[in-house]
A and B are shown apart, each in its own frame.
Chain A
Amino acid sequence: GEDVEQSLFLSVREGDSSVINCTYTDSSSTYLYWYKQEPGAGLQLLTYIFSNMDMKQDQRLTVLLNKKDKHLSLRIADTQTGDSAIYFCAEPAQAGTALIFGKGTTLSVSS
């Protein structure tokens, strides 16, 4: 079955780059997702990447995909204190009717 793994914590200083890593198991996943959860709130879609892409850039966000190693990463450039949140990697499950999420990486940004 599907499984998604990611490290639990990352601490960076404001202005640095943050890199959050994720590994997934289902090689047939067509899309892979990054969601962000701010304190006390639900999850919101941050970005996604199609499985035939190696990289996707969206303003300060860069997603890298290595299909061979089933490895996904999210890079946040010029990290701000407002980026402090939990970041979840996710892949489709149940034939795309739901998502399987990793345990989430808590990003802490200090000024």
Chain B
Amino acid sequence: NAGVTQTPKFQVLKTGQSMTLQCAQDMNHEYMSWYRQDPGMGLRLIHYSVGAGITDQGEVPNGYNVSRSTTEDFPLRLLSAAPSQTSVYFCASSYSRLTNTGELFFGEGSRLTVL
């Protein structure tokens, strides 16, 4: 199994450009989420989804959009990139709620630099 696949692995953008980070999982997981990791800040939740057609905001949603048209895919869109969005982005998925021994499976990350 491929698990959680993120593309691209690296991207450089100019301020104001838009782009989409792709995330796909082949484990039939209902729950998916996006995090950003910044030095000294740990991982912060951007958006999450509990199933196809259902998304909600996490801790730091501003400047990002998500959609969940299928169980497998959960793309993250940057509408107008800003230098503050320079970060490493992780997509994650789980089969069950994490209040019930669910395991969160992570992709390898997408490193984004905004100039």
Contact = CB atoms under 8 A, between A and B. Distances in A.
Nearest to A48: B101
A97 B90 contact: no
Interface in A11-64: 29-31, 33, 35, 40-45, 48, 50
B41 to A, nearest CB: 6
A99 B100 contact: no
A96 B43 contact: no
B74 interface: no
A17 B49 CA distance: 39
Interface string A67-96: 000000000000000000000100011111
A97 B42 contact: no
Interface string B35-62: 1000011111100111000001011000
Contacts of B56: 94
B97 interface: yes
Contact of B99 (A8, A42, A92, A103): A92
A31 B50 CA distance: 19
Given A100-B45, A103-B42, A45 B104 contact: yes
Interface in B1-51: 4, 31, 33, 35, 40-45, 48-50
Nearest to A102: B42
Contacts of A95: 97, 99
Contacts of A44: 106
Interface of B: 4, 31, 33, 35, 40-45, 48-50, 56, 58-59, 90, 92, 97-104, 106-109
28 contacts: A29-B99, A30-B100, A31-B99, A40-B109, A41-B108, A41-B109, A42-B4, A42-B92, A42-B106, A42-B107, A43-B104, A43-B106, A44-B106, A45-B103, A50-B101, A88-B42, A93-B45, A95-B99, A96-B102, A97-B33, A97-B98, A98-B92, A99-B45, A99-B98, A100-B59, A101-B43, A101-B44, A103-B40
